[in-house]
Structure formats: structure tokens, C-alpha cells
């Protein structure tokens, strides 16, 4: 399968490298030429536009930041749909609203192109090691066509259901993670108030039933959410807001998890 990849950031770049190393003919596009420089010694080709990239691809993977970026790259005058041939597939690895994927899928279908949503979790190190969690929504046959490419950087690759299911799962994941960050930071602060060193307490808890990935991240950040608020806060705020909107539209109460996530965001200086 010929693969095009757009979005060579801290997570997208190692994903693209895994695709190349797996032997798939790969084309890359980036707004900044400097982003392409690390791939100079590989077999990947560089395209002058998303449309040119798409014309050389069977599958185009997008790992850009947000909804507006996805729409621009897919539907712009020199976007992916301007070059991707009939039977092609677009995989949205970005974390966006499910409705954005559905809207783009409708536009793609007019040109005989399929779209799946396949957000990922794990970060750059997991991508480099081929162990990203890939959460996929879309038509079963289309997902299976893409699976060999997804498997080059993902383990497990989980098909969750119809288009949009992957995005909902990713947003639920990030909602729970945000809530756990706040709970972990609050607990370490409580321990500090009771006379226990927060770093030592985190080390103890990481070996007990209270262990969690969120706890390790808070401990690594100095047992507070201050530094994390600057770096991850805006993205977590975006994802919590998206999930809250989806739950509200569905008439499903988000409950205490959303309350805990809101509290964590407030500590990080990012109100929903």
C-alpha cells in the first residue's frame, strides 16, 4: 500500500518512520521544509502539496493538531481530496470531534474515497517502538485494508465500530486521564499537608493498588500540575470540552469524571 503522511510532529514523525521502515512506499508533506530534513536519508519522497502527496498514495494518514487543520488539509484547493484517486482512504489520526470525521467522510465519498478515524495514544516513544494504541472507527473492510499500515506503529490496533467510534474512545481516554491527573496531584498535596514527602509518597503509591500512568506523570513533573499545565493543558482542555459537548448532545450525563477533569484543568489554569 502506498502511504502519504501529513503531520510530522513529535508523534507523527516516528509514526511515519515506522511506515517507511515497514517497506511501504511513502510520501511526506509538511508546511516547513525543516520538518522533512530528518527523512532525507530514507526512501520517502517529499510532495509539494497535500494534493500531490495524495496523487501518489492509496492511504493518506493525517496527524495534524485539530479540527480546522484536518478540514484545511483535506478540503483545501490543494488538499488531499484534490489528488486522491477513487478507492483511496484517508485515516484521521488527529484527535477531533467525531462530527468532523463524518463531515469529511461525506465529502470524501463524493469522490469515491473512504475515511476512517484512527486516533492514537502513547506519545512519541510508543510510536517509535511500534506500540501505540490505535482506536479505529469505520467500515470493516476499509479498516482491514489499512490494518497492515496501522500495525507498523500500533499495538494494539482496535476496531471499535462505525466512523467516529475511535474519536469517542480517545476523548473518553483523555477525559479519564485528565481526571486522574487532578486526583493524583490532589492526593500528593494532601500527603504533603500530612507530613509526607510528595516524591516519596508517589514512589510508594506506584507500587501499590493506587498506581496509575497519571500518578507517574504528576510525580515526574515535581508532584504538581504546574509544568504540565503549560505543556499539555491546552490539548487536554480541548479534548475535555469536545467530550462534554458530545455527551451533552447525546443527553448522557458525564458525571463525576467530568467534574474531576474540570477541577484538574482549573488547577492547570485552563478552564473548560
Catalytic residues: 170
Q: Which contiguous run of DSSP H or E holds residue 56?
A: none
Q: Which residues pair with 92 in a beta bridge?
A: 62, 117
CA distance 268 to 111: 44
- 224 SS3 class: coil
Q: Quick one: cell of 96?
A: 477531533
Residue 122: enclosing H or E segment and its boundaries? none
> Cβ distance 58 to 1 under 8 Å?
yes
Measured CA to CA in angstroms, residue 193 lies from 149, 190, 222, 267 at distances of 50, 5, 16, 17
* β-bridge partners, 154: 132
- Residue from 188, 187, 158 nearest 173 by CA: 158
Q: How far apart are CA 233 and CA 96, in angstroms?
A: 16
Tell me 112's DSSP state: T
Judge contact between 120 and 93, C-beta under 8 A. Answer: yes
Cα distances (Å, whole numbers) of residue 213 to 58, 72, 76, 216: 36, 34, 39, 5
Amino acid at each position: 500500500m502506498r502511504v502519504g503522511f501529513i503531520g510530522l510532529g513529535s508523534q507523527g514523525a516516528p509514526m511515519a518512520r515506522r511506515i517507511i521502515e515497514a517497506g511501504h512506499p511513502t510520501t511526506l508533506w509538511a508546511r516547513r521544509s525543516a520538518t522533512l530534513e530528518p527523512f532525507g536519508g530514507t526512501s520517502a519522497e517529499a510532495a509539494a502539496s497535500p494534493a500531490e502527496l495524495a496523487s501518489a498514495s492509496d492511504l493518506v494518514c493525517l496527524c495534524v493538531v485539530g479540527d480546522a487543520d484536518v478540514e484545511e488539509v483535506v478540503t483545501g484547493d490543494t488538499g488531499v481530496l484534490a489528488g486522491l484517486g477513487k478507492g483511496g482512504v484517508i485515516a484521521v489520526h488527529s484527535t477531533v470531534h467525531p462530527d468532523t470525521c463524518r463531515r469529511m467522510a461525506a465529502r470524501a465519498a463524493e469522490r469515491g474515497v473512504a475515511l476512517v478515524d484512527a486516533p492514537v495514544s502513547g506519545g512519541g516513544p510508543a510510536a517509535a517502538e511500534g506500540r501505540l494504541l490505535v482506536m479505529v472507527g469505520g467500515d470493516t473492510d476499509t479498516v482491514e485494508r489499512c490494518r497492515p499500515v496501522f500495525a507498523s506503529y500500533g499495538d494494539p490496533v482496535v476496531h471499535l465500530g462505525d466512523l467516529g467510534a475511535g474519536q469517542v474512545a480517545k476523548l473518553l481516554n483523555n477525559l479519564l486521564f485528565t481526571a486522574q491527573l487532578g486526583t493524583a496531584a490532589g492526593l500528593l498535596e494532601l500527603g504533603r499537608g500530612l507530613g509526607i514527602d510528595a516524591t516519596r509518597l508517589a514512589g510508594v503509591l506506584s507500587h501499590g493498588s493506587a498506581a496509575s500512568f497519571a500518578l507517574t506523570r504528576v510525580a515526574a513533573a515535581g508532584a504538581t500540575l504546574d509544568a504540565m499545565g503549560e505543556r499539555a493543558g491546552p490539548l487536554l482542555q480541548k479534548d475535555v470540552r469536545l467530550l462534554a459537548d458530545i455527551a451533552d448532545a447525546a443527553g448522557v450525563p458525564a458525571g463525576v469524571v467530568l467534574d474531576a477533569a474540570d477541577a484538574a484543568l482549573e488547577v492547570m489554569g485552563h478552564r473548560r
